[in-house]
Amino acid sequence: MKPIKPILFLFGLLLIGCNSSEEKREKYRVVIMTDMTHDDGNSLIRMLYYPEVFDIDGMVITQQLPDYDFDAPEPWEKGMNILAAYRDELPQLKKHALDFPSYEELLSKTKKGRGALVINFLQEGQRFHDYIGEGINPNGESKDSEGSEYLMEVFEKEDDRPIYVQLWGGPITLVQALYRYNQKFGEEKFEKLLGKIFIYGILLQDITSDYFVDLAKLQEQNCIDLNTYQKEEGYQGKRAQVGTFIYDDGHFWDYLKAVNYKEVNGHGKMSNIYDGGGEGDTPSFLYLISAYLGLNDPLDPTMGSWGGKFIPMDESYGKNYFYTCGLGKEGLTRWIEPATNSFFARLDWSVKEPNEINHEPIACLDGDSGNSIVYKKVKAGEKIQLDASCSSDPDEDPISFKWDVYPEAGTYPGDLQIGDSGAAKIEFTIPEDFPGKELNLILEVKDSGYIPLTSYRRIVFSS
């Protein structure tokens, strides 16, 4: 890595944040639902290093069994300790990117929710309706909370962007907020809101997830392990059909061992809070980072991304409902190396100056340096030329190219002869048996920095 030139670095950041039309890449609007169990704090620390990717609109901290009872103070204290460390690091972090949210802003968007409810830790006789709606829940608490009331405010904002809900825990508070929103504004406005909500569920966490998806049906498919008492009675009303719902039933476990916490420690105050609990919830936002880097459309989980690959549930669950049931873990694990490199490069922001760290290369395709997916209609026998020679690196590091067909994301079973897959420019012919099929071709642009970083472009061919 050569010493970075300030003017070149600024120009590189502008390119990373803009496409060929000089339009700024849009941040993803996110809401974090977390129970701050063994791994959640690590995932939050990692997420806070990507201010250009995430517009954090709210974070709700709940307690959840088996780690915490409903009135345990530890989850909130854990979250506050992380935010305090973030506050102390912020002057250093802002040297690298000005759009880090202030400590005060994050604190104002962090609220307490309800918890102590997990699918496999219900008590006999407890039901879905004990935890949603009117009255007092079995813990003697109001079902409303500071967290659910704040989420109502988030839902009421005039903002057309999707709301990407990171469901690390505490769906009980999310469900209560939606219940109250429907009650306050009526069905028409409620349905409009639901269309904007994208939920990435890690294990679905508690029985109130039945508000979104039929848990008993997932149990019949061996996709979830329900508590005995929940099998008798699920949600009895009309389920909320959100815009997109994805469920990881276990692939995320690989992120409990993906990063050695001892290598994370020593990069500032946040890193020193990072512990050996792993990052089980991290895939729920990795797919947004990889989308920002050009790998995938965040609204299409079948494409595969840093957050894994999903397949559609049958439409009886919902129109845009996806899960990992029956899939191997390769759709997630294949991306662990570039995702981990990205994290370790960001950790250096806490201890190094901007001219000392590595930055993502700029993947440019046919003159377009944006991050949107390229869709091409083609005919059998058609000659295709693709040119990535406009790609560059803000640190002036040498870059390498890799053109790779991702067969699992498409429907074409044959081979595509693309010649030199490591060249900046490639030429190939659409096979004669291609009509009616779809093929995903991924361009990877990797730099040669001390921590190699990767950016992407994806081209989807169809006939």
Question: At 291, which CATH number?
Answer: 3.90.245.10
Q: Round to whole Å and give the CA distance between 285 and 54.
A: 9
User: Within this chain, do residues 112 and 256 fall inside the same structural domain, yes or no?
Assistant: yes
Asked if 359 and 453 touch (Cβ cutoff 8 Å), the reply is yes
User: Within this chain, do residues 313 and 175 fall inside the same structural domain, yes or no?
Assistant: yes
pLDDT tens per residue, range 21-53: 335 789 999 999 999 998 999 999 999 999 999
User: Within this chain, do residues 268 and 192 fall inside the same structural domain, yes or no?
Assistant: yes
Q: Residue type for 15, please? A: L
Domain that holds residue 50: 24-350
Token pair 């058609």 is found at 382
340 Cβ contact list (under 8 Å, min separation 6):
258, 259
Give the pLDDT confidence score for residue 232 in this predicted structure: 60
Q: Residue type for 22, please? A: E
pLDDT tens per residue, range 188-218: 999 999 999 999 999 898 889 999 999 989 9
Give the pLDDT confidence score for residue 429 in this predicted structure: 96
296 Cβ contact list (under 8 Å, min separation 6):
287, 290, 303, 304, 305, 373, 458
β-pair type (321-323, 374-377): unpaired
The size of the chain, in residues, is 463
User: Within the chain, which residues score under 70 in pLDDT?
Assistant: 1-23, 228-233
pTM exceeding the 0.85 threshold for the entire prediction: yes
Give the pLDDT confidence score for residue 228 in this predicted structure: 62
Q: Round to whole Å and give the CA distance between 80 and 86.
A: 10
Q: Could you tell me the CA-to-CA distances from 50 to 53, 109, 172, 204 in Å, in that order?
A: 5, 17, 27, 25
User: Within this chain, do residues 185 and 207 fall inside the same structural domain, yes or no?
Assistant: yes
User: Within this chain, do residues 388 and 334 fall inside the same structural domain, yes or no?
Assistant: no
User: Within this chain, do residues 51 and 139 fall inside the same structural domain, yes or no?
Assistant: yes
Structural domain ending residue among the three candidates 319, 350, 381: 350
Structural domain ending residue among the three candidates 350, 375, 407: 350
Judge whether 368 lies within some domain. yes
Q: Round to whole Å and give the CA distance between 360 and 285.
A: 18
User: Within this chain, do residues 365 and 346 fall inside the same structural domain, yes or no?
Assistant: no
Judge whether 11 lies within some domain. no
Judge whether 110 lies within some domain. yes
